[in-house]
Chains A and B, each alone.
Chain A
Amino acid sequence: MPLLAACGGSESGSGGGTTSGKNAKKILPAYVASNVVTPDIPAKNGSAMGFTGKLDVATLKSSVPKKLGKGGKVTIMSPFWGSPPKQSCAYYTAANAMIGVDVQWQNQDGNTYDQKLGAVLASSDIPDVVVIPGWNMTGRIPSAIAGKFADLGPYLSGDKAKEYPNLAAIPSDAWQRSIFGGALRGLPQPTESAANIVPLYRRDIFDKEGYEVPKSADDFMALCKEITNPRAKRWACGDMKWTAFNNFGVFSGAEKPLGWNLVDGKLVYRIETPEYLEALEFARKLMAAGYVHPQFKLGKSQIGDPAPLFAKGEFLIWNNNLVNWYGQQASQAAQNPDFKVWGMDIWNHDGGNPTLWAANPAGIFAFVNKKASESVIRDVLAVANVTAAPYGTKEWMMTNYGVEGTHYTIKNGVPVKNDTGNNEVVNAYVMVASPAPTIAHPDFPDVTRAMVEWEQRMGAFTRKSSFWGLQVAEPNRYTNLSDNFEQLEDDIVRGHKKISDMQQAVSDWKKRGGDKLRDWYKKLLDENGSAAS
C-alpha cells in the first residue's frame, strides 16, 4: 500500500511505483471469456490463438447487439505507419456508423511518434483519446500519463465491465498492465508473452541454394559467410542485434522494468550481465565481417525501408516483429508468387535450447483525456467494445477488413483485401483496444499455423523476469539514467565504439544512480511481489 499511496496521492506520480496484488484486484475489470469461433490452434505457452479455417462472412454473428455509441464526437491521436487515408474515407465512415460514434482520427507518423507525443502532452490541447505504445513511454511520459488521463475505473472496475462484454473478455493480465499511477487508465492491446522478434528468412532462396537453417552461433557465422557475395549485391542479413540478445539469453530490452531480474537474491539489470556484452560482440562481428547489408549501417535513421531490399534478395535474414512474417508474405504474394518468407527458431549461441524472456501481456494503450466528459468516455468505451470484438464477429471483420465489396472480396471463401482495403484499412481502429491475442489470416493458413507454432515452440523456452506484467513507473530522478544505452549498443555493433566503452558506461551508470535504482526496484519487489507466478 505505501507505494500505491505514494503515487496515487500526487496525481503526477513523479515518485514512480506500481500497483499489484490486492490493490490491483480492486480495480481490474471482471473477466468474462467470450469466443465466438473456436480457434483452430488454441493458445499455449503464451502464444496467440490461431485461426486457419475459412470464414463464412454471410453468417457472421454480432458481439454488440445494441449500438452503445451515443453519437458524440471523439478525437483520437494515434501512431500510424504508412500514409493515412482521408477522414471521409469509406472505412472510417462505415466503422463510425457501426459504432455510433463520430471518431475523428489524428494519425501521426509512427516512426517519429515519440517526438510529437512529448509536445502534445505538454500542451493544453490534448485530444480526447491518445494512443501510446509502451516503447514510447520513455523519460517523463509515464508521469504525464498518470497526470493527464482519466481513471476508467468508475466505468470498468469489477462487474461494471460487463456492460462492455468485449472489454470484459480481455485477459486480466492485459488490464493489470493498464494501471498507471494507481488507477485503471489504459485500454490495452493484449499481446502474446512469447518472444516476438523472429529471424525471418527467404525460404525460397534457402531451398534453392540448399542453405541449412543454423542451430548455433558458429553455424550462423558459417552460413553468413556462404551467403554473402557483395559483388552480386547479396548480403546474409540485416542488423541482428535484437536476435543476438535472444541467442545469448539477455534479459528483455523491450521496457526498462523487464530488464531487471532477481539472480541469486540480487536484482541485476540487463546491461550488467556478461551475456549482454557477448551478444553485442556477436552482432558486431557480423557487421565487421561484412555480412550485414550496408543499408543497416545507417542505424535507426536509415533512409529507406529495407523491405524492398529483402524482396529483391539483397539480404536473406531479417530479424523482425512476428506480425511481419505475414506482412512480408502478403505484400509480395501478388507480384512474386515464388517468394516465401519463414521464421527461424531462435538458437542458443552454444547450440542448445535458448533462454528467452517474456514480453509483457499488453504493449499499446489508448488513454482518455482527464478533461473528457462522461458522455465522451462512454463513447470511447463504445468504440473500444467494437474494436475488441473477437475473431469471427461482424465487428472484427469491420475493424480488420472493412466493408465487403468496398475493401475486400471473398475468393474461395477467404476474404482478400483490394487496393482500397490495403490503403484504408490499416492501423486506426485496431489501435484502440483489441481482443485476446489472435493470429488469423485466412488468406495464408500455412503462414498463420507456422506463426502460432513458432510462438508455442519459443514459448516453451520463455521465462518471466521479476517485473513481468507490472506497469512500473520509475521515479523522475532516474528516468533519464539509461537513455543512451541503446545508442551505445548500436555504436558498438557498427564499430564506432568498443566493448570497453560499454563497460565504462555501465560503471558510470551504477555511480550516477544505477545502484540506487536497484535498491528502489528491490523495495518495490519486496513490497509488491512479482506478477509472474
Chain B
Amino acid sequence: MSHSTVPRTSAEAGTTVESPVASDDVTGAREARRGPGKLGFRLRFRRDRTLLLMTLPAIVLVLVFNYLPILGNVVAFQDYDPYVSDNGIVAMLHSPFVGLANFQEIFGDSAFWNAVQNTFVLFFVQLLLFFPIPILLALLINSVVRPRVRAVAQAVLYLPHFFSWVLVIAVFQQMFGGAGMLAQLLRQHGYNGIDIMTDPHTFPLLVTAQSVWKDAGWGIIVFLAALASVSQDLYEAAAMDGAGRWRRMWHVTLPALRPVVALLLVLRVGDALTVGFEQILLQRDAVGPDAGEVLDTFVWWNGVHNQDFGYAAAAGLIKGVVSIGLVLAANKVAHLLGEQGVYKK
C-alpha cells in the first residue's frame, strides 16, 4: 500500500506528531523517508504499538502456518523418509541429501508435464468462462431496484457456495451422469444416453461449469461493493448529458469496476496453478489422470498417497516458484495499464 496511509493513521491514533508525508506522490514519499522529518523507530513504535498489538495474533498465525512450513521444503532436496526417527521433523535431519535428483526426475516425468498442461488449460478455460460471470451477475443484481427481489436473488446465488464439493459433484452426477436425469430422459425418447461426468475431452468445461454453479454467486460480493461506492451524482450527471442506459454503463459503471477487476485478475493469475484441489481430486479417477491430473493432485498423489514426500515437495516447490513469477508479472502488467495491482514499491 502507498505511504499516504501513514499520516492518516497517526491522525486516527490521536497523536499530534506532524508528518511531512502528505502527498500521494510516491517519489515525494520516498524523499520524505530519507529527509530530516523522518520519525525515529522508537517514536513510531510508541505511536503504533496499539495497532501492532492488534496485528500480532495474525502475524503469529502467518508465521506458524505460512512461513515456518517453508523450511519443510528442504525435503525436496532429500530422499526423505519420515519414519527414520521419532517424528517427521527430526527425520529431516536424518534423511540423506540427494541434491537436485528429485528435480531431475520430475523434469523427465511425463506425468508431471501432463499435470502442468492440464493446470494451464483449466486456468485459461476458467479465466475465459468463469471470471466474467460474477461481473455480469453483479451488474444484473445491481440493476434490480426492488430490495426484496434483490435480497432473494442474492441469497439464491450465494447458497451453492456453502455446499461441499462432494455434494456439488453428487448433484452433477445425478443430473448429468451415465444413469442421471439427462441420460435417462434421452433414453426414454429413443436416443443414446450420454455421460458427461466421465468424458475426458469435455472435462475442463465440466469443472468450470461446476465452479460457476457453486461460486459465481459468491464472487459477486466484491463487485457489488465496488458498484455501491459509485456516486449517484455521476449517473445523474451522465443522464443529464443525454447518456442512455448503455452509455452510462460504459462510461460510469465499468470504469468504476476497473481497479477491482484488475486487482482480482492479478490475484487470479498469481493463483493460476491452483485450480481447485478437492473438486478435481474427487473426479480425477472418473476421467483418468491424463485429463484430470493437475499440479495439486500430482503433489497429493505422490506425497500423501505414495509417500514419496521428497518428490512431491520438489513438485510443490516448482509450483511455488512459478506462482511467484506469475504474480510479479501480472502485477507489472497491472501497473503498465495504470492500475494499482496488488502492491506498489
Contacts and interface: CB of A to CB of B under 8 A. Distances in A.
Contacts of A293: 178-179
Interface residues of B, number: 43
Contact of A121 (B83, B183, B198, B282): B83
A490 B82 contact: no
Interface string B170-206: 1001000111100110011000010101101000000
A418 interface: no
Interface stretch (B130-138, B258-266, B285-293): B285-293
B290 A140 contact: no
Interface string B221-259: 000000000000000000000000000000000000000
Given A144-B83, A496-B291, 9 more contacts: A12-B84, A114-B305, A122-B88, A123-B87, A230-B193, A235-B179, A297-B286, A299-B286, A303-B173
A141 B307 contact: yes
A23 interface: no
A139 B177 contact: no
A476 B287 CA distance: 31
Nearest to A490: B285
B173 A298 contact: yes
Given A301-B281, A487-B289, A496-B287, A139 B307 contact: yes
B195 A476 contact: no
Contacts of B305: 114-115, 138, 483
Contact of B283 (A121, A139, A140, A301): A301
A299 B292 CA distance: 12
Contact of A494 (B91, B169, B188, B198): B198
A303 B283 CA distance: 9
A491 interface: yes
Contacts of A483: 305-306, 308
A231 B169 CA distance: 23
A299 B83 contact: no
B183 to A, nearest CB: 7
Contacts of A476: 81
B290 A491 contact: yes
Contacts of B287: 496
A209 to B, nearest CB: 20
B284 interface: yes
Interface string A472-500: 00001000100110010011001011000
A231 B178 contact: no
A118 B304 contact: yes
A301 B178 contact: no
A12 B282 contact: no
Interface string B76-110: 00000111101110110000000000000000000
Nearest to A123: B87
Interface in A250-294: 293-294
Contacts of A123: 87-88
A314 interface: yes
A314 B183 CA distance: 15
A289 to B, nearest CB: 13
Nearest to B288: A496
